[in-house]
């Protein structure tokens, strides 16, 4: 019995069933790219500038640069505003009433006051550069040298500030306790961050950030003091015993 192979399809029918595509019908690469660019969300010019500055400074998170400008700018502005008290001729007029009676007559208070002013101002300005990722990643030696300088300034400056706190803002017991606790928190945070500097980088950054936050609490403390002084003056019946 003869064997037959598969039935061959006619040439005309096979040609009619084969789909033909021409190069002119295909979408060119230029058209694909232009369509992708049109579908991509466009950034505003201001947003592009913001992201460019954030990239230059080394920030990766979206709101890191904004937090740096707000918090770091407040600390820088406070340090620059209080830098005029570095001039001994103007210190007496810039202090609250009654403080210069103690700071100007007793040497131990006067020396510690100026040490506190100078070191706290320099340490606060230098602390801003410690939180720039571009310096921390690309200039490690500069980051370490500046970090040791900031740590020394803040710790020594706050110890001197704790000595001055005995007569600061009237020398009430609540004021003294607040300054002593704040100075202790700054010294402990800085020492703990120094302990983790080569053991755990993540914990080192956390403790250093805590130290700067505690140090910058003087800004909110001054605002609260100004508001409290105005309120107490309007009340007129508040008395304090020292």
**Of the candidate ranges 145-154, 200-209, 228-237, the one whose mean pLDDT is the lowest:** 228-237
| pLDDT value of position 29 | 61
User: Residue 175: how many CB atoms within 10 A of its CB?
Assistant: 18
CA neighbor of 183 nearest in space, from 163, 205, 204, 206: 163
pLDDT in tens, 162-202: 888 888 776 678 778 888 888 889 889 988 988 998 888 88
pLDDT in tens, 197-210: 888 888 988 898 88
Reduced to 3 states (helix: H, G, I; strand: E, B; else coil), residue 200 is coil
Q: Does residue 138 come out as left (phi exceeding 0), alpha (psi in the -120 to 50 range) or beta?
A: alpha
- Cβ 152 vs Cβ 73: under 8 Å: no
| pLDDT value of position 182 | 87
CA distance 116 to 223: 20
CA distance 97 to 100: 7
CA distance 223 to 33: 55
Maximum CA extent, the chain: 132
| pLDDT value of position 20 | 46
pLDDT in tens, 102-125: 787 788 888 888 898 899 889 888
- Cβ 59 vs Cβ 65: under 8 Å: yes
């Amino acid at each position: 019995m003869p064997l037959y192979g598969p039935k061959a399809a006619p040439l005309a029918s096979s040609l009619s069933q084969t789909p033909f595509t021409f190069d002119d019908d295909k979408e060119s690469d230029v058209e694909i790219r232009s369509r992708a660019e049109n579908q991509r969300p466009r950034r505003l010019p201001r947003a592009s500038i913001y992201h460019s500055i954030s990239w230059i400074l080394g920030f990766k998170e979206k709101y890191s640069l904004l937090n740096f400008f707000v918090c770091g700018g407040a600390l820088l502005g406070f340090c620059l505003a209080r830098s005029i008290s570095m001039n001994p001729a103007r210190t007496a007029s810039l202090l609250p009433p009654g403080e210069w009676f103690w700071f100007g007559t007793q040497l131990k208070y006067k020396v510690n006051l100026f040490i506190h002013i100078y070191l706290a101002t320099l340490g606060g300005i230098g602390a801003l550069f410690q939180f720039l990722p571009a310096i921390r990643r690309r200039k490690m030696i500069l980051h370490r040298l500046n970090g040791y300088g900031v740590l020394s300034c803040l710790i020594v400056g706050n110890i001197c500030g704790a000595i001055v706190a005995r007569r600061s803002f009237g020398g009430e017991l609540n004021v003294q306790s607040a300054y002593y606790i704040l100075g202790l928190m700054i010294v402990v945070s800085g020492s703990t961050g120094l302990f983790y500097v080569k053991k755990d980088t993540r914990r080192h950054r956390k403790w250093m950030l805590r130290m700067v936050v505690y140090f910058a609490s003087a800004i909110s403390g001054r605002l609260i003091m100004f508001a409290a002084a105005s309120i107490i003056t309007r009340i007129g019946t508040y008395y304090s015993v020292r």
